[in-house]
């Protein structure tokens, strides 16, 4: 009997998950299908029940159902507990295990595709939502020396820092995007991470960069987790000043690869997934 996997969210739009997962399943030689299941709020528990009953072998979860998944599963991985959200549901008999593969996806994409090791780095993270939380967790785990979380609403950045303040001596603080300290911290930083929607196609500011291009420098690795478009205004500005860069598609692939490996017990072919996702993204961006 063919296994069925899916991603749920609302709205799902043009999700890349089916194409990249299906390419991986084919390479692994598994009789399985991965589909997108648009799931309106209030109906997500039906999908979780499908996993419990074996009608689905595993589930990816995206906005707005990550908190519902966190509450619905029977057990949480440490990553899910720390992020406070679940993006991967794994079936263990009638019981459900909830994981969050975003911190892994963030750090593995940076390491494997960006060839950047944040150990000992001074880092500026823009944004204070779920993606920022995953990024900060990954950076703490990989030994970043200092982290500043900057957000349009400083109270949210402060709350994120309070929630994740590590027991070790890693300095982690917060500020507003308009704070006068931000230019100085960027000048001294080795890594800038954008987790905001600024520069995203279809977002509120698709033509803008979250920081003025003049604040970038060649010794700053610029990691923009936005993946549509592939070249955001921030990445374009980084290229112009000679800074190394990484877009968000690689993170999407690596967090998906981690999900697939948990469902199947087989190492996921991340390069195949990236090739398929990149081709689908280029096709969807074509006129």
- Give the end-to-end CA distance of the chain in Å, rounded to a whole number: 40
d(CA 115, CA 20): 22
Residue 205 backbone zone (phi > 0: left; psi -120 to 50: alpha; other: beta) = beta
For 211, list phi and psi in degrees, rounded to 5.
Answer: -135, 150
Output the furthest CA–CA distance in the chain (Å, rounded): 60
Is residue 230 among the annotated active site residues?
no
Query: Residue 228: how many CB atoms within 10 A of its CB?
Result: 21
Q: Which residues contact 68 (CB under 8 A, 6 or more apart)?
A: 44, 45, 61
Q: Which residues contact 50 (CB under 8 A, 6 or more apart)?
A: 56, 59
Catalytic residue among 21, 47, 65, 66: 66
Which positions are annotated as active-site residues? 66
């Amino acid at each position: 009997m063919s296994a069925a996997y899916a991603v749920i969210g609302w709205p799902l739009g043009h999700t890349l998950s089916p194409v990249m997962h299906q390419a991986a399943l084919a390479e692994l030689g598994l009789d399985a299908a991965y589909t997108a299941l648009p799931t309106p709020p209030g109906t997500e528990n039906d999908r979780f029940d499908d996993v419990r009953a074996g009608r689905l072998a595993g589930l990816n979860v995206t906005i707005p159902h990550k908190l519902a998944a966190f509450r619905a599963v029977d057990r949480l991985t440490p990553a899910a507990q720390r992020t406070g959200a679940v993006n991967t549901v794994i079936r263990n008999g009638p019981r459900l295990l909830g994981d969050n593969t975003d911190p892994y996806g963030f750090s593995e994409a940076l390491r494997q595709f960006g060839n950047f090791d944040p150990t000992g780095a001074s880092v500026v993270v823009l944004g204070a939502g779920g993606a920022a939380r995953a990024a900060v967790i990954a950076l703490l785990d990989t030994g970043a020396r200092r982290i500043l979380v900057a957000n349009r609403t400083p109270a949210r950045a402060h709350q994120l820092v309070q929630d994740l303040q590590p027991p070790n001596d890693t300095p982690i603080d917060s500020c507003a995007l308009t704070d006068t300290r931000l230019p100085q911290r960027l000048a001294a930083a080795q890594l800038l991470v954008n987790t905001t929607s600024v520069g995203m196609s279809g977002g509120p500011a698709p033509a803008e960069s979250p920081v003025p291009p003049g604040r970038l420098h060649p010794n700053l690795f610029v990691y923009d987790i936005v993946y549509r478009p592939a070249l955001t205004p921030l990445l374009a500005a980084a290229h112009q000043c000679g800074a190394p860069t990484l877009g968000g598609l690689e993170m999407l692939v690596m967090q998906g690869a981690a999900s697939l490996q948990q469902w199947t017990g087989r190492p996921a072919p991340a390069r195949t997934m990236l090739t398929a996702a990149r081709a689908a993204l280029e096709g969807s961006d074509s006129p």
